[in-house]
Structure 1
Amino acid sequence: MSVAAVGLALLGSLFFALGAALQQSETGPDRVALRHLARRPRWLLGGLAVGAGTALHVLALRYGPLTLVQPLGAASLLFALPCAAALRHRRPRPRELAAAAAVAAGLTGLVLTVPEHTGDPRLGPWGAVALLAGAATVALGLLAVSRRVSPTARAGLLAMAAGVLYGATATLTRVLVDGAWEPWLLLAAPLPALAALGLLQRAYACGHFGVAFASLQVADPLTAVVFGAVLLGEPLPTGATATLTALAAALLAACGTVALARTGPPPAVHVPQVR
């Protein structure tokens, strides 16, 4: 069962990474509107790959515990950079891979320090309103700041905003998969995901795929952990050892993201525009 969970989780990470790289290859300063991107076959193929990766990750959770499956999701960053490099007909740079490995190791450490929650998560209407309002406020703040910074920082901030909204989506989804099929919850869940998709395409358009994808991978799980603790009553790391480990893992992930930012964007590749 554990072998199946590991295999499914790694395959899901590969599909997710491939989908992100395909979608990033279709974005640009004048190609960020979803209505335009949805006409491009490669972008749509990337969306299908992301969907397949998500489905495989959910299936992996049927065969293995969260503490085994969730850390393997960090492997998507290690897969994403080679996929993006291959689409641009170049080799991934060693510094990129080293920085990505640092982010993946940090994310894995963070996930492993979070205790497993055995109770059934419950979220009332007012809790959902607080979740959506909190995520939207943070995302809008990051969006506002992104307009005043360099392209590299803009890519990271926009992807972080998307990660916050995806983290909110993951929190709502966790409640749904445990049987809370209230109509209002089904209607609320897609809202932050759609907003996150648009922000993520803007992040990709900045030309710093490694920074954007790493920022997304950091912000998404951290947001889900915070919302899970505050709104669903899920446990956080306790004790000196777990707390220090979580802080060290967070620092490692942050340093890896900064290192990715310093590698610079990949060589530009001309992509024909949609007329």
Structure 2
Amino acid sequence: MNATLTAVALSLVSAAAYALAAVAQARLAGRTEPSDGVLRMLGRGAWWSAVGLNAGGALLHVVALKYGPLTLVQPLGALTLVAAVPLGARSAGRRVTRTEWRGTVLTLLGLGALLLAAGGGAAHQTLTLPEALGVGGATMAIVAVLGRPGTRPGLRHATAAGITSGVASALTQTLTVAVTDHTTGPLISWRLVTVALFVSVFAMGGLLLAQIAFRGGLGAPLAVVTLANPVAAAAVGMALLGERLQGGAISLIPALLGTTAAVRGVILLSRATAEAAGPNPSAAPSQAAPTPSRVIIGSPRALDRQPLGAEAMTSSVGGG
């Protein structure tokens, strides 16, 4: 019982750290121009604060897995979304809308159904070097496709962020098993060096992709990241690490229902983000533009002080 409570407590603190990191990244995205390069962003303290919070959340998640099973710890990680939505709203100086709550609940219910279908005991198999290279190459190809120009860039970058983070988590298992179980081969080898390199690249890549995704808001991109992460990890586990669906093929039914609920939740969160953004303020200057010209036209002294271009415009408007 004490071990279970420890796992729950660590998972809750981990979720809070991830939520604070997501809010920090969203605030940084709101203050960053799209034209700003990566090096400029890396020079900001807010970015490294988010990196530190993410690293702390990951460490707490790993420690929690030492005290509790994956089927307990992994679902609790989804509470990141529950904590991040109100934190993000508070940071923006507003209240959480009903649409945001509905989207959050539906996303969590869908994610829970997916985790119950795919959740199982901890696997003890590891990836071979060709398998690790195949996973790394396939992940980079998927990220390249999702990162191309087009519609919904925020959600596509969020999907890529979730996939890279999930694959990094799945690859971490190979490192963990190799360290704790010496029967899998030597501790230092080309296989483990390659896996460690992929883990580092995908973990940092996930943070950078999420940073881009958060330019379109917090709720919907974070929901997509939260969904794509365990799905990608489960795909690697079932394809290469011997994991299986809980309950066999019948578990596909709750998995499909969960996917439907999660997609609906993301749609609601996207709608809530658009509503919170409000009307486009760029239309206001064009509506107010005619006012100064009418004042100038009605003031002869002001006309005398106008440059040649403005005088020509006035004569054309006044008809001579």
- TM-score w.r.t. the length of structure 2 is 0.77
- The one of 195, 204, 209 equivalent to 1:185 is 195
- The one of 37, 44, 52 equivalent to 2:41 is 37
Tell me how far 1:173 sits from its aligned partner.
Answer: 0.5
1:245 equivalenced with 2:254 (yes/no): yes
Tell me how far 1:101 sits from its aligned partner.
Answer: 1.5
Q: Deviations over 1:172-202 (max 9, x none)?
A: 1111111254223222321222222222211
1:98 equivalenced with 2:108 (yes/no): no
Question: Aligned AA for 2:136?
Answer: L
- Which aligned runs of 4 or more in structure 1 are off by greater than 4 angstroms? none
1:196 equivalenced with 2:195 (yes/no): no
Which residue of structure 1 aligns with residue 68 of structure 2?
64
The alpha-carbon distance between structure 1 residues 84 and 32, as it changes in their structure 2 partners (threshold 3 A), is farther
Query: Is this contact kept in 1: 2:120–2:246, CA < 8 A?
Result: no
Tell me how far 1:31 sits from its aligned partner.
Answer: 6.5
- The one of 52, 55, 67 equivalent to 1:51 is 55
Q: Counterparts of 1:140-179 in structure 2 under 5 Å?
A: 140-144=144-148, 147-149=149-151, 153-179=152-178
Which residue of structure 2 aligns with residue 218 of structure 1?
227
Q: Deviations over 1:73-121 (max 9, x none)?
A: 1110111111111222222212112201111121122112224234412
Question: Aligned AA for 1:37?
Answer: M
Which residue of structure 1 aligns with residue 26 of structure 2?
24
Query: Is this contact kept in 2: 1:32–1:198, CA < 8 A?
Result: no
Tell me how far 1:241 sits from its aligned partner.
Answer: 3.9
How many Å separate the matches in 1 of 2:220 and 2:88?
13
Query: Is this contact kept in 2: 1:162–1:199, CA < 8 A?
Result: yes
Which residue of structure 2 aligns with residue 272 of structure 1?
none
Query: Is this contact kept in 2: 1:74–1:104, CA < 8 A?
Result: yes
Tell me how far 1:168 sits from its aligned partner.
Answer: 1.4
Question: Aligned AA for 1:101?
Answer: V
Gaps of 5+ in 1: 269-275
- The one of 3, 13, 18 equivalent to 2:15 is 13
Query: Is this contact kept in 2: 1:32–1:201, CA < 8 A?
Result: no
Gaps of 5+ in 2: 180-186, 279-320
Question: Aligned AA for 2:105?
Answer: A
Q: Deviations over 1:39-60 (max 9, x none)?
A: 2222222221111111111111
How many Å separate the matches in 2 of 1:103 and 1:267?
21
More helix by share: 2
- The one of 114, 120, 139 equivalent to 1:116 is 120
> Rg larger in 1 or in 2?
2
Question: Aligned AA for 1:6?
Answer: V
How many Å separate the matches in 2 of 1:33 and 1:98?
36
- TM-score w.r.t. the length of structure 1 is 0.89
Which residue of structure 2 aligns with residue 80 of structure 1?
84
How many Å separate the matches in 2 of 1:29 and 1:232?
42
Query: Is this contact kept in 2: 1:17–1:79, CA < 8 A?
Result: yes
Which residue of structure 1 aligns with residue 239 of structure 2?
230
Question: Aligned AA for 1:224?
Answer: A
The alpha-carbon distance between structure 1 residues 23 and 122, as it changes in their structure 2 partners (threshold 3 A), is same
Question: Aligned AA for 2:177?
Answer: D
Question: Aligned AA for 2:167?
Answer: A
Tell me how far 1:223 sits from its aligned partner.
Answer: 0.8
Which residue of structure 2 aligns with residue 89 of structure 1?
93
How many Å separate the matches in 2 of 1:118 and 1:73?
17
How many Å separate the matches in 1 of 2:4 and 2:107?
24
Query: Is this contact kept in 2: 1:20–1:80, CA < 8 A?
Result: yes
Query: Is this contact kept in 2: 1:31–1:37, CA < 8 A?
Result: no
Question: Aligned AA for 2:175?
Answer: L
The alpha-carbon distance between structure 1 residues 66 and 31, as it changes in their structure 2 partners (threshold 3 A), is farther
The alpha-carbon distance between structure 1 residues 119 and 91, as it changes in their structure 2 partners (threshold 3 A), is closer
Q: Deviations over 1:242-265 (max 9, x none)?
A: 221111111111111111112234
Which residue of structure 1 aligns with residue 315 of structure 2?
none
